Chain A
């Protein structure tokens, strides 16, 4: 079946540090991959996505590359800011299962000044 495994948190970084949040997936078909972010007190919102192998999604300085050979979609940012403090969810959707979304457990990031 479909599933997403992501790095356990919480993660605490100093401002301007490098961020990596690992995400691997299992899928029966050829999924699309997403990173969603949930800021404190807000709903889930799309951060970036990729729909085919070797595609790179990017937004707000965050990047993730769809790696079919390692079934991974790791989230990276070169220099985090305090405003990046949030919970990050890796997710996939699969046309074979009606495009429902499968989420990881979420990784809480706190950036300290």
Chain B
């Protein structure tokens, strides 16, 4: 079974530039998450989708971050304009649904460096 695919793996941009990350979840997984992991910290949820609807985006900095999940499959996370503090690993995860104890499967992440 293919895992969660993310691209690119690495990205270096200058502040005020824009960047986009792509995620392809495991086939059949209804729930998709984007997490931000700053060095030395645990992952923090940015946005959670159930199919193509948003479950929670309360911690997404909406003045600069946006995300979409068209057709309830692939997802794109965009930052525009980027700030130095956005340097982090961006993790995409998916799960079958919202059942008790449902495991989330993670991609390898995109490491973003803003200079």
Q: Using a CB–CB distance below 8 Å, which chain A residues touch chain B? A: 4, 32, 34, 36, 42-46, 49-51, 89, 91, 93, 95, 97-106
Q: What residues of chain B lie closer than 8 Å to A50, measured between beta carbons?
A: 101
Kindly state the separation between the CA atoms of A42 and B56 in the bound complex, as whole angstroms: 27
State the Cβ distance, A45 to closest chain B Cβ, in Å. Answer: 7
Question: Between A and B, how many residue pairs show CB distances below 8 Å?
Answer: 68
Q: Using a CB–CB distance below 8 Å, which chain B residues touch chain A? A: 3-4, 31, 33, 35, 40-45, 48, 50, 55-56, 91, 93, 95, 98-109
| Pairwise interchain contact A44-B106, C-beta atoms closer than 8 A | yes
Q: A43-B91, A105-B40 are in contact. Are A99 and B103 (CB under 8 A)?
A: no
| Pairwise interchain contact A101-B41, C-beta atoms closer than 8 A | no
- Residue in B closest to A51 when the chains form the complex, CB atoms: B101
